[in-house]
Amino acid sequence: MDNHEHSGKSFLEQTAEEEFNNEQIVSDEANDVPPYVAEYDEQIPLYILSPSSAVADISMFDTASARLTDYGFDVRRDPMADAKETRFAGTDEQRAAAFSRAASSGAEVVMASRGGYGLSRILHLIDWELLAKHPKRYVGYSDFTAFNLALLAKTGMSSYTGPAAIPDFGHTEVDELTAELFVESMRDELEILCFEAEGSDEVDVRGTLWGGNLAMICSLIGTPYMPKIDNGILFIEDVSEHPYRIERMLWQLWQAGVLANQQAIMLGHFTDYQLVVHDNGFNFNSVIQWLRSVVGIPVVTGLPYGHGEVRATLPIGEEVGLATQNDIAYLVLKEHAHGDDEHAHHQHDHHD
């Protein structure tokens, strides 16, 4: 993607001057964020469906609905959301039909109940033309990456990766920052996401934001559901995958020509793996070094997204700006309101 100049200043300089106070960013702590409290005149209609694994405890639907209602949503649940068919939330046909019901509903937001596994099995059954005729804001994460990317490939429509109903709103305690970022995104109030990006490469680019769960991205290579993104900004995360497996999947993206077409890659959470004696010093930092030396595109670390505690809501398929300065990354989601830093969200992320 091209680096544009605005009034003689680079994108980074303009962004830093007009939108941020770096001292404030550095001082912000995730656990300092106050509980999100807001009163809205109108609630946003939200539809919960289960496109992947079955929800083990269906009582969590009630908790999730109550929490989401507290955050300003008018919640409706798909009639098959609590279905179970072996490990799945109903048969393949039932889960695919849920997307048609969601598209035909009056909801503005459609949220997955959870991830797991199952979306890969139903991509060929989803009525993409119907979804294109009735645009919604689809949101989920993990296994939902398959739907996010397939929607972009089949219809050109953007969607969101972010929280899911049960893991994020179905428990007694809700991560307030995750919830706040989601609410602000659904109400078009989130313009900029700032986060600590220690050791990141210098970058100042604009491009199509896309990505999600790395294993799901790789599973779509060679299928009709893999979007072709040129000069994009790719972000990835994964869980329970050893660093050598992460590197192997990145090798696949590299050899398939995907990484060569990206301007930068952002690394989110890579959690719940164990190193062994045989690794002999090979770790996740080794993967980052390989990315820089072999792939040769800028690497930005610290994105608060994935299977960790904080999960930012990110638009897949939208044009964004990305810049780094002094170990802080600036992900500019909307650029139409310069001079007003009210909606610049500062995330001091301290997770590995």
> Can 237 be counted among the known catalytic residues?
yes
d(CA 310, CA 231): 28
Quick one: which of 205, 182, 212 has its CA closest to 324? 205
Q: Is 275 exposed, middle or buried (0-12, 13-18, 19+ CB in 10 A)?
A: middle
Whether 256 and 215 map to the same domain: the answer is: yes
d(CA 246, CA 237): 9
Contact 53, 122 (CB under 8 A): no
> Can 142 be counted among the known catalytic residues?
yes
Task: Identify the active-site residue in 196, 237, 241, 335.
Answer: 237
> Can 42 be counted among the known catalytic residues?
no
Domain assignment of residue 261, yes or no: yes
Interval 92-111: pLDDT, tens:
999 999 999 999 999 999 99
Quick one: which of 130, 19, 113, 99 has its CA closest to 57? 113
Whether 196 and 330 map to the same domain: the answer is: yes
Contacts of 237 (CB under 8 A, 6+ apart): 212, 213, 214, 267, 268, 269, 270, 303, 305, 306, 307
Residue 196 is part of which domain span? 191-336
Name which residue leads in pLDDT, 7 or 310: 310
Whether 204 and 332 map to the same domain: the answer is: yes
Task: Identify the active-site residue in 50, 52, 65, 142.
Answer: 142
Task: Identify the active-site residue in 307, 345, 346, 348.
Answer: 307
Whether 66 and 154 map to the same domain: the answer is: yes
The domain total for the chain is 2
What would you measure as the largest C-alpha separation in the chain, in angstroms? 60
Query: Tokens 């994105």 appear where?
Result: 303
Domain assignment of residue 21, yes or no: no
Interval 287-335: pLDDT, tens:
999 999 999 999 999 999 999 999 999 999 999 999 999 999 999 998 7
Domain at 161, CATH number:
3.40.50.10740
d(CA 335, CA 85): 45
CA torsion, ordered 221, 225, 231, 237, to nearest 10 deg = -70
Whether 45 and 158 map to the same domain: the answer is: yes
240 sits in the region (left: phi over 0; alpha: psi -120 to 50; else beta) called: left
Contact 328, 346 (CB under 8 A): no
d(CA 164, CA 141): 7
Three-state DSSP state, 170? coil
pLDDT at residue 346 in the model = 61
Domain assignment of residue 104, yes or no: yes
Whether 156 and 228 map to the same domain: the answer is: no
Answer yes or no: is pLDDT of 203 > 50. Answer: yes
Whether 68 and 182 map to the same domain: the answer is: yes
Whether 146 and 255 map to the same domain: the answer is: no
Q: Once rounded to an integer, what is the mean pLDDT over residues 84-91? A: 98
